[in-house]
Chain A
Amino acid sequence: MTMPAFLARIDKPVLAAFGCIILLLLVGSLYSSSFLSPEYLLQQLQVASFLGLIATGMMLVVLLGQIDLSVPWVVTVGGMMSTAAAGWGPLGEALAIPFGITCGMVMGLISGFGVAYLRVPSMIFTLGMNAVAQGLMVLRTGGFAPQDHSTETMHFLATGRSILNIPNALFVWIAVGAATIFLLGRTTFGRTVYAIGNKERAAYLSGLPTQRVIMLAFMASGGLSAFAGVLLAGYSTKAYQSMGDPYLLPAVAAVVLGGTNILGGRGSYIGTIAGVILITLLQSILSVMQIDEAGRQLIYGAVIIGMLLVYGRQKKAS
């Protein structure tokens, strides 16, 4: 009936997630002493930054009680369109990054429209958008790997280290993260997102601009996925087919492990940060331990279930 421990519950999953991070670090250090070295940790945070951007967008959408399954190909759109723009002369090169992000935002906008105004369940609409994005990219590249290269800036952002040897990608994530924390905590937009996720009906009846907010959230998710694609293309200096495939499930897992309720309305960004780092560390430990892919997948799934059983359970219906 009531949830007086609501505030405590927000903290518990986040604490659990950070606890698991520490646990993973300890386990990893048993395998290799360099696991706890600053260099290795920074490298992990760099890899985590890509997932972090995607998970940020996913979190916004999940907070609404929706989901974004278009991540795989929107990421690819971001990568491919930005590298394409890079080949369109000096203006293209300068605007490559914003162009890639904008393409993602457009896809997100369409998804948002479908969910907010056409009331199509987000699961199925974003699924469709994913297929459309794939179709567009196949058309563009002729089915081959694209020959475009990323710009210097993209490469710099993705792989460079400017200050104190901290990866630039991490700075990007920090900037986006800080903006998200502010957005969720201090703006009308953020408050409306939580309200919609809790009870869209009541949010509507309170006169909140529910449709607009849903559309904007999906637009942000699309933009952030594309941004990640841009950075990934910068990392490998080119875009490639299916570059976004490995990011969908980890993004959802990161959001959920960070304590955000998959049904919406509850979750803090700090938790998502923890979830992203957790997933990244988990994946890297599994490869360091040289467990083959089969074992890795098995453990990956089992760990997620295990952690959710600890703190992700729904309340029993009374």
Chain B
Amino acid sequence: MGATMPLFQMQGVAKSYGGVRALEEAHLRVEAGRIHAVLGENGAGKSTLIKIMSGVVQADAGDMMLDGARVVFPSPKSANAAGIACIFQELSLIPDLSVADNIAIANPPRRFGLIDRRAQRRFAEAALARAGAEDIHPLAQVKDLPLSRRQMVEIAKALARKPRILILDEATSALTAGDVAKVFTVLKRLRDEGLALLYISHRMQEIDELADDCSVYRNGRHVASYQAGTKSRNDVVEMMIGREYSHVFPPKPALPKTGAPALEVAGLNWTHRLNDISFAARPGEIVGLGGLDGQGQRELLLALFGVLRGVTGDVVVNGVRRHARGPRSAKAAATAMALIPEDRKTEGLMLPMSVRDNLTLPALDSLARFGVIDRAREQDAVERMVKLLAIKAANLDIPVGALSGGNQQKVVIAKWLMVAPRIILLNDPTRGIDVGTKQEIYQLLRKLADEGATILFYSTDYDELIGCCDRVLVMYDGAVTRELVGAEITEHALVSSAFSIDSGSIDQTGERQVG
């Protein structure tokens, strides 16, 4: 860290949401011409830190200093005006407007008081070129672009404002490998030109490649700042989780499972997002889905659950061919499938409804007679689940929105356990959850597997895949490119398979070309 005046500083910043402390005594020091990586688990406060910096939320306490002078950003507009641009995960693009309209949304070029469309288009083309995204047509409507293109537009939009500080909040999660490389080149060039970059990511290898400085946060507090490369991977992880992480995962059964598969998939296809997927999973197995984000893992789970239309191929459950026509038939006793969805707030729970009401939803039919809910049976089932999962709630009638993220996720899992599923699909279940609850979930999954359930588990966290899964199917571009079994599941193997880089082991499909 230089002795010069930092471009931007945060000191003693605190922010609470309701009763939850998101940030406390948080510090940050950003220098011009350097890429600063922000590390921490989900819930460490990184997102809140960024939101305060970009004016989306206001801090409860603490100071922000830009060029040594105290600043406050009451809105995103004011932060932008001060030269701070934040690249979100597509949250700030307006779907029905064109790429050019989005890039120039604030302060477009004008002629006679109206928007000068030609000048705006040139401006957009220049911004796209600077971001390495020349292939995107400026008149295309954002809603028609795939996620990776949208992210590039978001990057172009941020760069177009010629910011002094650029913040990237997991901005590369949806990008293809080629895009990532391009973006990195752009970022390094900007850094050399004097831009200060704040980079949040979970991907250690990205941070290794990009960062000059690193800061670690944990539980809303600043833990340490250091120059990149001066700490070992172990040290960094330990700083992030606050303890040795080897105890986090329950032990895996040593013997590979044998017997008839509970779930067999053959030649599964869906639009261009799922390509000829085949695999089998046996009772008692925890099968992981790995690979970079957006390679079809979510779609595979949705396809199995019956949410996607136009899925071709065979899905065989317990020896019988099934075509789940939707969640209702998937959860029925014949298939007994459950899906813990991606976003608990919009897909897993009804936040204003009570904990009790949320818990009983999938099992409603079994708790009722001729449509009338049996209150005694309901109470029984609910109490059992709360105990089994150790759900912490003041009482069962408070809205589920009042619970912590971890407890909310427990409610989502509990409600599905009530229908006694035999195949459990999980879509990134521990995202945004504290470490303690994560551990509980890992223990629960292993217990369920030991009791005979088949678990298919998508996670963006390599450690989870390594720690929990008996097997991992690595996906790339909608197909399974590699299957790792037992001891083969290492971070190295996962990463290299994710980028479709042949690391010397036999590739499962045999023929797949390197991307």
Contact = CB atoms under 8 A, between A and B. Distances in A.
Establish whether A and B are touching in the complex (CB under 8 Å).
Answer: yes
Interface of A: 1-4, 6-7, 186-189, 191-192, 194-195, 198-199, 201-209, 265-266, 318
B376 to A, nearest CB: 13
8 contacts: A3-B401, A187-B372, A188-B371, A205-B339, A206-B361, A206-B362, A208-B361, A208-B362
B379 to A, nearest CB: 14
B373 interface: yes
A2 B18 contact: yes
Given A2-B18, A4-B399, A206-B415, 13 more contacts: A1-B401, A3-B399, A187-B373, A191-B357, A191-B364, A195-B357, A199-B346, A205-B307, A207-B326, A207-B328, A207-B331, A207-B362, A209-B328
A265 B350 contact: yes
Nearest to A212: B328
Contacts of A206: 327, 361-362, 415
Nearest to B357: A191
B104 interface: no
Interface residues of B, number: 37
The interface centre, meaning the residue of A2, A189, A318 with most chain B CB atoms within 10 A of its CB, is A2
A31 B30 CA distance: 72
A280 B326 CA distance: 45
Contact of A187 (B331, B349, B371): B371
A7 B402 CA distance: 12
Q: Which of A199, A203, A265 has the most CB of B within 10 A?
A: A199
A260 to B, nearest CB: 13
Contacts of B347: 199, 201-202, 205
Contacts of A191: 357, 360-361, 364, 373
The residue among B350, B368, B402, B419 with the most chain A CB atoms within 10 A of its own CB is: B350
B244 interface: no
B365 interface: yes
Contacts of A3: 351-352, 399, 401-402
Contacts of B461: none
Nearest to A266: B352
Contacts of B401: 1-3
Contacts of A208: 328, 361-362, 364
Instruction: State the 7 A-B residue pairs at the shortest beta-carbon distance, nearest first.
Output: A198-B350, A207-B331, A207-B327, A2-B401, A206-B361, A2-B402, A207-B328
B327 to A, nearest CB: 4
Nearest to A190: B373
A201 B397 contact: no
A63 to B, nearest CB: 12
Contact of B346 (A192, A201, A318): A201
Interface string B363-379: 01100100111010000
A6 B399 contact: yes
Nearest to B399: A6
B57 A318 contact: yes
B348 interface: yes
Nearest to A204: B327
B14 interface: no
A195 B347 CA distance: 11
Contacts of B362: 206-208
Contacts of B357: 191, 194-195
Contacts of A188: 364-365, 368, 371-373
Interface in B312-358: 326-328, 330-331, 339, 341, 346-353, 357
B385 to A, nearest CB: 15
A209 B341 CA distance: 18
Contacts of B399: 2-4, 6-7
Nearest to A9: B352
Nearest to B416: A206
A192 B368 CA distance: 13
Contacts of B402: 2-4
A191 B375 CA distance: 13
Contacts of B18: 1-2, 4
A153 to B, nearest CB: 30
Given A1-B17, A187-B371, A191-B364, A202 B346 contact: yes
A186 B330 contact: no
Given A205-B327, A206-B361, A207-B330, A7 B350 contact: no
B114 to A, nearest CB: 29
Contacts of B353: 194-195, 198, 265
Most buried by B among A1, A195, A206: A206
Interface in B477-512: none
A68 to B, nearest CB: 23
Contacts of B346: 199, 201-202
A202 B349 contact: yes
B147 interface: no
A221 B334 CA distance: 35
Contacts of B361: 191, 195, 203, 206, 208
A207 B363 CA distance: 9
Contact of A192 (B339, B364, B398, B415): B364
Contacts of B17: 1
Interface in B392-419: 397-399, 401-402, 415, 419
B413 to A, nearest CB: 13
B351 A2 contact: yes
Given A4-B402, A186-B372, A194-B353, A205 B348 contact: yes
A187 to B, nearest CB: 5
A245 to B, nearest CB: 35
Contacts of B328: 207-209
